[in-house]
């Protein structure tokens, strides 16, 4: 019988040799910078999104997640009810604020003069605070004598118009020919919808008699919705403005600043004669605020420009309601604007500081890691 032991060893040796050669080749390939870069790029492109993780879960776990989503929808509906009650609470407190706002209007228009007690306010002049006794009395007497010679206009002239000028969001809407009209603005009020009615709020702009229109009040109503969208309930974040209605301004003849008259020459094709045609076209004006874009009720989508205009309109309405009307005097003096600016600057400063800290940490890591050496009255009619 032939000895087959040697013949069995040959394939084994060949296999080991091939394996060793393959490992050597792999080592050589993995040492190539180009190969490593390509491999790294491929690894970075591998999706690690939450949805991809969910897809890997067993059906029983996915079923439980669906149950959690149902609970989340119920939470959204409860949250919607919460905001409806908040709206009721806003209405209640609006009634408490209103007597103070009415007195504000009286002081602004000059219908009522504040008493000495109502006019007291801590002085910001530290030097004056240090004056005492007779010296302070002499200063007060001198001030009264000086003020006797000063003009004493009625109320606070151009109170609301000054607010429009001070607030960038509003001043951008105001044209030069709007200014004389806004100087007649005496008050702005916020009115909430009645109990049991659909959620909404109205802005009322009260004007004194003027040469531009006959309305004493211009109104803008914002309709709101506090319920999750049936197609996307998880997007619910509270009440949203869904539509708004303006009013018809009864302009006096030749005073409508929302349109301008242009003249165009037209040539008759047959006879060759030329005639001048007068035409009215829309004009930029703050008073276009009372003629908003209508949201289509048939589900038709608006174009991009209209969507932007409507979103801006909603933002302005919300700003009047939340900031301007409640804190009017601080926007008149500019204090509220400084507070807003400081708040925004503070946020930016925090972000910059955090970015600096992150960069510092990276630098420290680079120093510690030797592998990282370089590179890497007659209210206007509702429309």
List Cβ neighbours of 380 (8 Å cut-off, separation of 6 or more). Answer: 215, 217, 218, 219, 247, 248, 249, 250, 290
Using alpha carbons, select from 316, 315, 297, 293 the residue that is nearest to residue 306: 293
- The length of the chain is 383
pLDDT attached to residue 276: 75
Q: What is the CATH number of the domain that holds 190?
A: 3.30.1120.90
203 domain residue, yes or no: yes
C-alpha angle 236-242-248 in degrees, rounded to nearest 5: 165
**Summary mean pLDDT of the chain:** 79
Note the pLDDT tens digit of each residue in 124-134.
665 555 555 55
DSSP one-letter code for 321:
I
In a domain, 179, yes or no: yes
Q: What is the pLDDT of residues 150-207, one digit of tens each?
A: 788 999 999 999 999 999 999 999 999 999 999 999 999 999 999 888 899 999 999 9
Q: What is residue 376's predicted lDDT score, i.e. its pLDDT?
A: 43
Whether 176 maps to a domain, the answer reads yes
Task: Look at 95 and 231; give whichever has higher pLDDT.
Answer: 95
Q: Does 15 score more than 80 pLDDT?
A: no
Q: What is the pLDDT of residue 27?
A: 66
Residue 366: per-residue pLDDT: 45
Whether 319 is covered by a domain: the verdict is: yes
Would the pLDDT of 337 be above 50?
yes
Tens digits of residue pLDDT in 251-277: 999 999 999 988 777 776 767 677 777
What is the rounded average pLDDT of the residues 67-78?
Answer: 93
Q: Report, as an integer, the average pLDDT of 353-373.
A: 48
Q: Would the pLDDT of 4 be above 60?
A: no
pLDDT at res. 7: 46
Please report the pLDDT score of residue 374 as a whole number: 41
| Cβ proximity of 224 and 86 under 8 Å | no
Instruction: Specify the number of domains making up the chain.
Output: 1
| Domain around 169 | 59-114+156-228+238-257+285-294+307-340
- 2-11, 20-29, 189-198, 241-250, range with the lowest pLDDT: 2-11
Residue 185 falls inside a structural domain: yes
Q: Is residue 327 part of a domain?
A: yes
Half-sphere exposure of 342 (CA within 13 A, CB side): 6
Please state, in angstroms and rounded to a whole number, the distance separating the CA atoms of residues 305 and 333.
34
Domain membership of residue 178 (yes or no) is yes
Task: Examine the pLDDT at 123 and tell me if it is beyond 60.
Answer: yes
CA distance 187 to 110: 12
Closest CA to 191 of 99, 91, 322, 86: 91
Cα(149)–Cα(166) distance, rounded to whole angstroms? 29
Residue 104 lies in a domain: yes
The whole-number average pLDDT for the span 114-136 is 71
Q: What is the pLDDT of residue 14?
A: 57
């Amino acid at each position: 019988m032939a000895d087959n032991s040697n013949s069995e060893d040959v394939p084994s040796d060949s296999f080991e040799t091939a394996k060793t050669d393959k490992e050597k080749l792999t080592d050589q390939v993995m040492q190539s910078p180009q190969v490593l870069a390509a491999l790294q790029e491929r690894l970075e492109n591998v999706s690690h999104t939450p949805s991809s993780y969910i897809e890997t879960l067993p059906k029983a776990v996915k079923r439980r997640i669906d149950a959690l989503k149902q609970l989340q929808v119920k939470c959204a509906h409860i949250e919607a009810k919460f905001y409806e009650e908040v709206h009721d609470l806003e209405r209640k407190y609006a009634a408490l604020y209103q007597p103070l706002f009415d007195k504000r209007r009286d002081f602004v228009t000059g219908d009522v003069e504040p008493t000495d007690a109502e006019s007291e306010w801590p002085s910001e002049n530290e030097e004056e605070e240090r004056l005492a006794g007779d010296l302070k009395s002499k200063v007060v007497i001198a001030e009264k004598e000086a003020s006797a010679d000063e003009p004493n206009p009625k109320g606070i002239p151009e109170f609301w118009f000054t607010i429009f000028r001070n607030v960038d969001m509003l001043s951008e809407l105001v044209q030069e020919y709007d200014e004389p009209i806004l100087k007649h603005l005496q008050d702005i009020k916020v009115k909430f919808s009645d109990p049991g009615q659909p959620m909404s709020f109205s802005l009322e702009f009260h004007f004194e008699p003027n040469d531009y229109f006959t309305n004493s009040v211009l109104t803008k109503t914002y309709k709101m919705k506090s319920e999750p969208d049936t197609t996307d309930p998880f997007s619910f974040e509270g009440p949203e403005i869904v539509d708004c209605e303006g009013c018809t301004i009864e302009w006096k003849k030749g005073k409508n600043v929302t349109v301008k008259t242009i003249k165009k020459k037209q040539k008759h094709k047959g006879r060759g004669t030329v005639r001048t045609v007068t035409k009215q076209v829309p004009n930029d004006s703050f008073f276009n605020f009372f003629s908003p874009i209508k949201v289509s009720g048939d589900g038709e989508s608006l174009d991009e420009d209209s969507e932007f205009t409507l979103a801006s309109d909603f933002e302005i309405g919300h700003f009047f309601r939340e900031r301007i009307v409640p804190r009017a005097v601080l926007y008149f003096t500019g204090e509220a604007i400084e507070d807003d600016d400081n708040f925004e600057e503070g946020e930016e400063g925090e972000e910059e500081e955090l970015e600096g800290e992150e960069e510092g940490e990276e630098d420290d890591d680079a120093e510690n890691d030797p592998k990282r050496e370089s590179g890497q009255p007659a209210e206007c009619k509702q429309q």
